[in-house]
Structure 1
């Protein structure tokens, strides 16, 4: 319940001529500020409540209860802001990410390309790599060969005389994206993620201790969603940087870390 709106209506009922301007003057705030508070376009802060409540003549117990709630919410909001800020730092510089045009990224955005890029090794014969990676990923040799070709065209790997001689540290999409291109990107991404999801579901067995499936449901203020999304992106980049240079001789598996934030309320 909006306590300011309730109080205004109470005063208006006693005096039909009572105006919003008069109410704002009585509370010591501007009419615009009051209007936003009453229509809930602006949140009532703990500090504002301390200023306003003494002029409302609320019952002491109710005033104490509301102030305690506002103080708790403000404290939580401040903590959330600090966490989001710390997670939203730009870690791309440390990771040395190469940005490629969106049109080019469309050709190398499937999970096959990402997996093959991460499994490929500089200084190794390309034919040998294609055979070994096809076996490891359970993909046709022709598909792996095509993905290597796509990665060369995108200039994220370099092959000379049948040997991969260099590759970038990591790559991300950059540049202007038209509506038509965005539709293509979304369509391709959906198909790629569908395959990853199905692969993940097939791994859900009691004897598969290294498969992690987790989901969480929580409320995100609309005004903070952009910060939330940036925090998730930055966190994934931190993970990538942490495990980017795992020695190829180590006993390691290739994992996909995939996130999806789905609104379930209208």
Structure 2
């Protein structure tokens, strides 16, 4: 149980620190409200004075971007099985990481870029990430069978079509990925010239009954744009993100 308590404490502290850095006024009470856990229980857990109930641990797993391997440890204290089982858990961990961090899909797409290099240094510089992140991502993608490396030509070979999020990946992971993409969009607004980017927004009063059909229309439109842009000569990496969200807070 001590191991589980330490993992819970580490996860909670790490996420709270991230939120505190972004918003210095962010309180432990607000954090507890987000998690759905009482302030007393949360405070005692962080101080290692109390063990959270299984119900509260499940809330943490669902609300935060916790990997399947850690989730298995938190929700089930039984020892894992044989080596084959461990390998399956490790693969799920890689799948989770590939979905969460935006640069994994970018590296897969780099296989189509003219003059690309399959080196951590080149990829790190091109994407603005660390050398360590680039090397770890390449290893994950190879292990997942999404890419291979032609060592003679120093090129990335893409082995699959675009990969979508699996249904059994925690929704918190998808939320984390979306937040990363929108953070990149904010950086683009600040740093990229107008001729290299395009942002538009429209505020409207809508009929909620038409949302489902509107989402399908957005999906078709996004695929049409991708098909058009990818039909040319691939020289740069771009991200297309489309958002439709409510402004009123009545729900």
Q: TM-score, normalised by structure 1?
A: 0.49
CA contact (8 A) 2:117 2:156 kept: yes
Following TM superposition, by how much is the alpha carbon of 1:102 offset from its aligned partner in structure 2, in angstroms? 8.9
Q: Which residue of 2 aligns with 1:156?
A: 146
Query: 2:97, 2:231 → 1: CA distance?
Result: 25
The aligned residue for residue 257 of structure 1 is 240
Contact kept, 8 Å, 2:104 with 2:141, in 1: the verdict is yes
Residue 197 of structure 2: aligned partner: 211
Give distance in 1, aligned partners of 2:157 and 2:126: 22
Distance 2:236 2:150 in 1: 28
Q: CA deviation at 1:197?
A: 2.9
1:103/1:240 CA distance change after superposition, 3 Å: farther
Aligned equivalent of 2:162: 170
Secondary structure, counterpart of 1:201 in structure 2: helix
1:121: Cα distance to partner?
Answer: 4.8
- The SS at the match of 1:172 is coil
1:173 is paired with a residue whose SS is: coil
Query: In the alignment, is the contact (CA less than 8 A) between 2:111 and 2:157 conserved in 1?
Result: no
How far has the Cα of 1:104 moved from its partner? Answer: 5.9
Task: Decide which of 195, 198, 203 is 2:183's aligned counterpart.
Answer: 195
Which portions of structure 1, spanning 4 or more consecutive aligned residues, are displaced by more than 4 angstroms?
Answer: 101-105, 121-125, 160-163
Q: Secondary structure, in 3 states, of the residue corresponding to 2:201?
A: coil
Does the CA-based 8 Å contact 1:158-1:166 persist in structure 2?
yes
Unaligned 5+ runs, structure 1:
1-100
Which residue does 2:103 correspond to in 1?
A: 112
Partner in structure 2 of residue 144 of structure 1: 134
Per-residue deviation, 1:232: 0.9
Which position in structure 2 is the counterpart of 1:223? Answer: 209
TM-score normalised by length of structure 2:
0.52
Separation of aligned partners in 2, 1:149 and 1:137: 17
225-234 or 190-199, which moves further after superposition? 190-199
The answer to whether structure 1 residue 238 and structure 2 residue 185 are counterparts is: no
The CA RMSD over aligned residues, in Å, is 3.1
Distance 1:211 1:121, change over 3 A: closer
Distance 1:224 1:153, change over 3 A: farther
Residues 111 and 155 of structure 2 are in contact (CA less than 8 Å); yes or no, is this contact kept in structure 1?
no
Cα drift, residue 256 of structure 1: 1.5
Equivalent-residue separation in structure 1 for 2:158 and 2:109 (angstroms): 13
Deviation at 1:243, TM superposition (A): 2.4
Question: Are 2:118 and 1:126 aligned?
Answer: yes
Structure whose CA Rg is larger: 1
CA 1:232 to 1:106, structure 2 compared with 1: closer, same or farther past 3 Å?
farther
Shift of 1:228: 0.9
Q: 1: distance between equivalents of 2:139 and 2:105? A: 13
Contact 1:105 1:154 in 2 (8 A): yes
